[in-house]
Amino acid sequence: MATPHNITEFFLLGLSQNPQLQRVLFMVFLIIYVVTVCGNMLILVTVTSSPMLASPMYFFLANLSFIDICYSSSLAPKLIADSLYEGRAISYEGCLAQLFGEHFFGGVEIILLTVMAYDRYVAICKPLHYTIIMTRHLCAMLVGVTWVGGFLHSLVQLLLVLQLPFCGPNIINHFVCDLYPLLELACTNTYVIGLLVVANSGVICLLNFLMLAASYMVILCSLRAHSAEGRRKALSTCGAHFTVVALFFVPCIFTYMRPSSTLSIDKSMAVFYGILTPMLNPLIYTLRNEEVKNAMRKLFT
């Protein structure tokens, strides 16, 4: 049951209070959001409509594009709209919905990136058994696990916030409702809840990142037995994936692995992993992947 509180809405300070800079931010983030949606939608349509891209790797890539659209949409529209107005109010219920959405899709993406690394490990280290191991049934099950895992992660975050009493002030020094800014507004001791946030967000990010790094170390060691062409193709694919991993995980680890506190750089970190990374993912995967580029050309010819 939620703890009683006398706050019905919060006010987000956003990225800037300068009206001229707000107009610039509005245009910048509107363009980024449009590019994000269009780029990821293009990959989604290309993969689902092209028989050339029927392998598990592209199945996971299509799911990543869909998640990036959802993840960006949980943050960017509110940020864009708030850049036009002085008052940036968000209801208590809307704040909780945004918190749940961003951690839900962020959690799904974290687990999916780990699944994609496992797919590359099997493809490179066990190529003869790849089709036997990575069956359609297993791929669908792994994607289902990512959604369930993201839901459970976000549900824990939401339940932690629901226990907090808010009795004023109600000004959030951020452009999004997130855990650490909300913990600062709670009129109770949040030390234990802060540790739980580190356990549920920071440790999950760190463990997944370490597993990913370990898998790539194994892949790099195994590449010595491959031909020069095989090494080139594997490094191209894995390089694109590890770039995405680094762009997403490093800011997340920085934000959630430390004790409960808010820093001025947190807004920049949130923009990076929540707004920029979903836009960059399609560019990273398509610019380094000839199969995707060829499928796109055929789609438009």
**Average pLDDT of the residues in 241-261:** 81
pLDDT for the residue 1:
47
Distance in Å from the first CA to the final CA of the chain: 57
> Per-residue pLDDT for 4 more than 60?
no
Burial class from Cβ neighbours inside 10 Å (0-12, 13-18, 19+) for residue 74 reads: buried
Residue-wise pLDDT tens digits, 31-83:
999 999 999 999 999 999 988 888 898 999 999 999 999 999 999 999 998 88
Report the distance separating Cα 123 and Cα 109, nearest Å.
21
Which helix (H) or strand (E) segment is 89 a member of?
A: strand 89-91
User: Tell me, what's the pLDDT at 85?
Assistant: 75
Pairing type for strands 89-91 and 9-12 reads: antiparallel
pLDDT of residue 226: 66
Cα→Cα distances 184→82, 164, 206, 258, Å = 22, 10, 24, 15
What pLDDT shows up at residue 193? 86
Q: What's at 239, amino acid-wise?
A: G
pLDDT tens for 72-99 read 999 999 999 888 876 678 899 999 999 9
pTM of the predicted model as reported, rounded to 2 decimal places: 0.89
pLDDT band at 159 (very low <50, low <70, confident <90, very high): very high
Per-residue pLDDT for 213 more than 60? Answer: yes
Instruction: In whole angstroms, give the CA distance from residue 63 to residue 113.
Output: 10
List the strands of the sheet with 89-91, edge to edge: 89-91, 9-12, 171-172
Alpha-carbon gap, residue 113 to 126, rounded angstroms: 19
Which has the higher per-residue pLDDT, 21 or 168?
21
Q: What is residue 72's predicted lDDT score, i.e. its pLDDT?
A: 94
Other beta carbons less than 10 A from residue 44's beta carbon: 19
Confidence of residue 197 (pLDDT cuts 50, 70, 90): confident
Looking at every residue in the chain, the average pLDDT score rounds to 86
More confident residue, 90 or 233: 90
pLDDT of residue 86: 64
- Beta strands 9-12 and 171-172: pairing type? parallel
Most trustworthy range by pLDDT among 223-227, 249-253, 260-264, 281-285: 249-253
How many CA atoms, within 13 angstroms, populate the side-chain half-sphere of residue 296?
16
Which positions ≥6 away from 120 have C-beta within 8 Å? Answer: 57, 215, 219, 234, 237, 238, 241
CB–CB of 258/251 below 8 Å?
A: no
Instruction: Please say whether the beta carbons of 124 and 167 come within 8 A.
Output: no
* Helices 56-73, 19-49: crossing angle, 10 deg rounding: 150
Beta bridge partners of 11: 89, 171
State which of 12-21, 104-113, 182-191, 246-255 shows the largest mean pLDDT: 104-113
Q: What is the pLDDT of residue 63?
A: 95
**What's the confidence (pLDDT) of residue 128?**
86
Closest CA to 183 of 266, 111, 110: 266
Question: Distance between CA 122 and CA 130 in Å, rounded?
Answer: 6
DSSP 50: -
- What's the pLDDT at 138? 95
What pLDDT score does 60 carry? Answer: 93
pLDDT tens-digit readout, 275-301: 988 998 888 777 667 888 888 888 887
CB 102 within 8 Å of CB 74: yes
User: What is the token pair recorded at 269?
Assistant: 């970190």
Section 150-171 average pLDDT: 89
Of residues 240 and 123, the one with the higher pLDDT is 123
Token pair recorded at residue 56: 């598990």
Quote the radius of gyration of the chain (alpha carbons, Å): 21
Q: What is the pLDDT of residue 234?
A: 67
Asked if residue 225 has pLDDT above 70, the reply is no
